[in-house]
Amino acid sequence: MQPDVQAFFDEATFTVSFVVTDPESRKCAVVDSVLDFDYSSGRTDTKSADAIVAFVKEQSLEAVWLLETHVHADHLSAAPYLQERLGGKIGIGEKITVVQDTFGKVFNEGTRFQRDGSQFDRLFKEGDRFEIGALQGRVLHTPGHTPACLTYVIGDAAFVGDTLFMPDFGTARADFPGGSAEALYASIQKILALPDETRIFVGHDYKAPGRDTFAWETTVAEQKALNVHVGGGATAEDFVRMREARDATLDMPKLIIPSIQVNMRAGQMPEPDDSGKRFLKVPVNEL
């Protein structure tokens, strides 16, 4: 079955969020939502999330899932905000506990921060199934960018997060704590083993050199043939060599500090201090 897919592009973070709808029941899932955040002032805004809320209500949809492909390092999740306004369960990969433990240490989180994934409503593992009305969804564990990365296969569509980008841009970085170029290559092969006609929806686009418009939809066949990092049968050895060399030249994402702290809490801000105020920490020389 083919779901209806509506994309919402946030040019500030080059993130694509998706509303995935079962056309029969009008039930839907939101994949990788964005909470706007101005780092210089510490202010959040819900403009991006409100566009999704408006679309869901205008189309008379029922949100049953708020899905995260992984703990994002480049934008904050709006999942709690959407849950308040639309309902739905927040889901992520079960390896979120690995990410929470890793970054709990980086940010020197105390005992009040639970590292068991309990902030989320559902922790998915490889092979899990879920429903969006009459649509059947299944889960592929696709680590490498992070340990908790998932691909959601819903009908004829696969939502791959950061694992793959458009064919002319390549693949995700693998140098964050817990990342692995070897694991990333294996995960990509798992995605490319899906039927050639499977629609692939990527979580970011940066307009590769020579392309004037943003794009986020491709297919397994196009990725296998044309992806500049893994297309044409690139070997694991060649990919790992390329990926590690490329990653060594990349800066950290601008919003990694706030994003990780919020997203490993399912989109919630850190717990307030004794005064009732909430703060984000900046670890020095840790990333």
Tell me the mean pLDDT in the region 131-156. Answer: 97
pLDDT band at 180 (very low <50, low <70, confident <90, very high): very high
**pTM over the 0.85 mark:** yes
The predicted structure's pLDDT at residue 253: 95
Hey, what domains does the chain have and what are their CATH numbers?
A: 4-257 (3.60.15.10)
Report pLDDT for 110: 83
Provide the pLDDT confidence category of residue 112 given band limits of 50, 70 and 90.
Answer: confident
Task: Label residue 287 by pLDDT band (50, 70, 90).
Answer: confident
Strand 89-93 to 122-124 pairing: parallel
| Alpha-carbon dihedral angle through residues 246, 252, 255, 260, given to the nearest 10 degrees | 90
Asked if 165 and 172 count as a contact pair (C-beta separation under 8 A), the reply is: yes
- Kindly report, residue by residue over 27-74, the tens digit of the pLDDT: 999 999 999 999 999 999 999 999 999 999 999 999 999 999 999 999
CA distance 27 to 154: 13
- Give the integer Cα–Cα distance in Å for 244 and 246: 5
Cα–Cα distance for residue pair 188/143, rounded to 1 Å: 9
Query: Parallel, antiparallel, or unpaired for β 62-67 and 89-93?
Result: parallel
